[in-house]
Structure 1
Amino acid sequence: MKLAFASMTGNVKRFIDYLESFDKVQVEKDVLIDEPFFLITYTTGIGQVPKEVEEFLKQNSHNLIAVVGSGNRNWGKSFCAAAKKIAKDFNVPLIHEFEMSGTLNDAIIIATKITELQRG
């Protein structure tokens, strides 16, 4: 299964190292994914979806299966707000939220949920 990720500060990029068994691709404007994929994204500003993620989803949202959010709990209600917005806008599940670079336990939860969704 393909795992697309967006990382501004490196937190998400560090986190995906825990998810060794997945084919990973970094979100960029012109990247096309022609198969089902999961998205891990950070939140920018005060709860906005990063611009590169918006552009990426314009061309790839039809293959989006679910989304995962990375954030900082210091932002209160804006914690993982981008992932929540994407889940709502594209009618896909938000399968997990983690703080900063996450933990191995977060990765296990995500891998388990992805496996469950793949099985249907």
Structure 2
Amino acid sequence: MQHWIYYDSKTGNVDRFVHKLEARTGWSIRRISENLSISQPGHLITFTTGRGEVPVVTDKFMQQNHDLIKTVSASGNKNWGLNYGRAADTVAAIYQLPVLFKFELSGSTDDVQQFINKINEYHEYHSNKECEHS
């Protein structure tokens, strides 16, 4: 199944993560911008900035496209304690989305595989839910 991943990256950590993801899956990966309007449903991966804030580009992208975003994930640094990956928590709370995954910096090989598994589980669960309602 083809999945869409939309992402925001500042230092290159999320960029490196999604390129490892793309190499392993062939999924469609698209870097977001403030004015990007999307037509395909997908999943957002962002980074956390400052003291746990949502990046400006991510915030503006979500204001325009939140109806097509299914989950949110974030990169962070565990040295930030409670603010680790907090941008995902904030976006999730604002737009009533599930936090799919948090990973440190650019993520390990294991993190990439866990993310793939979680995306596949998400879609399998929601496909089964649709079948139940048919």
Asked whether the two chains share a fold, i.e. TM above 0.5, the reply is yes
Structure 2: runs of 5+ lacking an equivalent: 127-134
Name the counterpart of 2:40: 35
Determine which structure has greater relative contact order: mean sequence separation of CA pairs < 8 Å that are 6+ residues apart, divided by chain length.
1
Name the counterpart of 2:7: 5
Counterpart Cα distance in 1 of 2:92 and 2:31: 19
Name the counterpart of 2:49: 44
Q: Which amino acid aligns with 1:25?
A: R
Q: What is the percentage of aligned positions where both structures have the same residue?
A: 35
Give the TM-score taking structure 1 as reference length. 0.96
Name the counterpart of 2:58: 53
Structure with larger Rg? 2
Give the TM-score taking structure 2 as reference length. 0.86
Q: Which amino acid aligns with 1:97?
A: K
- What RMSD, in angstroms, separates the aligned Cα atoms of the two structures? 0.9
Q: C-alpha offsets along residues 54-100 of structure 1, whole Å, 9 cap, x if unaligned?
A: 11011100001001110011111111010111111111111111000
Match of 2:85 among 80, 91, 97: 80
Name the counterpart of 1:23: 28
Q: Which amino acid aligns with 1:11?
A: N
Structure 1: runs of 5+ lacking an equivalent: none
Instruction: Name the count of aligned residue pairs.
Output: 120
Which consecutive aligned stretches of 4+ in structure 1 deviate over 2 angstroms post-superposition?
A: none
Counterpart Cα distance in 2 of 1:40 and 1:17: 12
Counterpart Cα distance in 2 of 1:37 and 1:48: 22
- The structure where helix makes up a greater share of residues is 2
Name the counterpart of 2:130: none
